[in-house]
Amino acid sequence: MTSDTADKETLASLKVKAELKLLPIVLRTVRDVACRYGLDEPAVRELELATEEACHNVIEHAYEPGENGYYKVKIHREATCFRITVRDQGMPFNLKRLNEEKTSDLGVKLMQACTDEVKSKYLGKKGKVVELVKNFSFESVNEVKSPSSATTSSKEDLAPKSEEVTLRLMRPDETVSLARLIYRVYGYTYPHEDIYYPEKFASLIESGLVTSCVAVNEQEEIVGHLGVFLETTQDHVGESALAAVDPRYRGRGLFPKMKKMMVDEITAKGIMGLYSRAVTVHVASQKSNVKMGAKETGFVLAHSPPTAIFKKMKTEEVQIRRTVALFYVLVVPDTEQTVFLPYKHQEILEKIYKHTELKRVLKMADPDTVDLAPHSNIRSHFLPEMASAFLRVNKYGTDFMEELQLQIQDLSQKRVELIVLDLPLKDPNTAILCPEIEKMGFFFCGLMPEYLDGDALRLQYLNNVTFDPETVDVYSEFAKEIFSYVVQEWKTTHEN
């Protein structure tokens, strides 16, 4: 080995398509490599933030919309520092601002604050490159840390116990602070992508579609969050999501305190219950839901796109959409309701109702009593970033089957991979029409209590999506029974 090779070692090299959804893979690689080759945890976090900003600049500004552009990221370890290079052959832009000591550009300020040196230069026909340098601390020079010691936060990283943390409802002007918290905890992997668009998330708070409880430190920085999402302001149930506590403030019991405050708040607003989605790449979040009293009600196969990266996921598996488990927990005492069950799914639905301890009068529908309105009312919520669509049937009309078929055709042309369909169980037409709906490619995936001014039967449709049941890890015995049923329904539809 020559002296040059010894002084500068390339640890990793990535060629990445300039798309935002692939950025988490780059950041995870930077974090894992830097942890294993000598940077301490605070330095790793800063290098990760600086790399994110440099790559984001390429993704947002280097290529025209629709242009098939790529960029390269290399990770080097030198005798005294780590060096990240981000190189692209996209549209030239003013690199002088990266080299200015005084700049008004917030992104440049971030890169400068998080690194010891920022360099940039043009490479002629080879494009341009940005270099980010992070020096080792004195004691870590020529010393490679083990993965376990590198990834564990030290006591010095924890906030002082004397620092006061206050709980309150979140204001719309605090969404940037919340986005920073979610990044620190999840990176860019959280399924609710609205959180990464502060202005959009602020509008959701202002409209009443999101209620957020936050924990703030003495600097008014958000260090904990728990939110409840509604799809419409008329909903009786919400989704419990965006639970996060800053690593510096863990061990203070913030999550139980936020949960109690949130339950009191949504109860006052008339919310009857909360549902949540738990990942299935491991059982930790499922186990947590069960411990908090939530009940399993179904599974949505291939729910989350490959950008939802989790700690235990292997790199070679990132192109597989991930399944989620559905949970429901009551907030206020339940009231008795009448529901009409499709004959095919009667047994599994009865078991779910018994498991959730909901008061229901279960009936079978009479086909001779079909009463359809002139026109259907199907609400569609399209999420292009997830290649998914969520449909709600608010009213059945004589044109229902035709209207649903048109929706499927339109969404398939948009390359939507997952379509979720919620049907009202208080309407006997759901039980009567369910067999015809399933002939179109939909299959059973669960129960959504109180979701459509009453309980909803949830079906799903997969459009040219690969699914492997072996990639799903299920926690409880009852959940395994539901999952087995859903998989069998998928197989039946898939084979047909």
Express each pLDDT in 104-153 by its tens digit.
456 777 788 788 888 888 787 788 889 998 887 643 333 333 333 333 33
Q: Give the model's pLDDT for residue 354.
A: 95
Q: Give the model's pLDDT for residue 97.
A: 61
Write out the two tokens for 173: 């002007």
Q: Give the model's pLDDT for residue 14.
A: 94
| DSSP state at residue 178 | H
Strand partners, 360: 337
Write out the two tokens for 225: 């969050």
CATH number among 3.40.30, 3.40.50, 3.40.630, 1.20.140, domain 337-495:
3.40.630
* Residue the block writes with tokens 């993704």: 59
Residue 275 Cα to chain centre, angstroms: 15
DSSP string, 260-302: HHHHHHHHHTT--EEEEEEESSSSHHHHHHHHTT-EEEEEEEE
Express each pLDDT in 29-81 by its tens digit.
999 999 888 788 878 888 888 898 889 888 888 888 888 899 999 999 887 78
Q: Give the model's pLDDT for residue 289.
A: 80
Q: Give the model's pLDDT for residue 481.
A: 97
How many C-alpha atoms does 235 have within 13 Å on its Cβ side? 21
**Same CATH fold assignment for domains 3-150 and 167-271:** no
CB distance 299 to 279 below 8 Å: no
Domain ranges of the chain: 3-150, 167-271, 337-495
- Among 37, 49, 42, smallest CA distance to 247 is for 42
Residue ranges in the chain whose pLDDT is less than 50: 1-6, 103-104, 138-156, 308-317
pTM for this predicted structure: 0.64
> What dotted CATH number matches 167-271?
3.40.630.30
Express each pLDDT in 430-450 by its tens digit.
999 999 999 999 999 999 999
Q: Give the model's pLDDT for residue 106.
A: 63
CB distance 258 to 215 below 8 Å: yes
| DSSP state at residue 452 | T
Whole-angstrom distance between the N-terminal and C-terminal Cα of the chain? Answer: 60
Strand blocks (E) in 289-383: 295-304, 322-330, 337-340, 360-363, 377-383
Q: Give the model's pLDDT for residue 194.
A: 73
> What dotted CATH number matches 3-150?
3.30.565.10
Instruction: Give the long-range contacts of residues 203-211, CB within 8 A, separation 24 or more.
Output: 203/172, 204/229, 205/170, 205/171, 205/172, 205/175, 206/172, 207/233, 208/233, 209/233, 211/169, 211/238, 211/262, 211/265, 211/266, 211/269
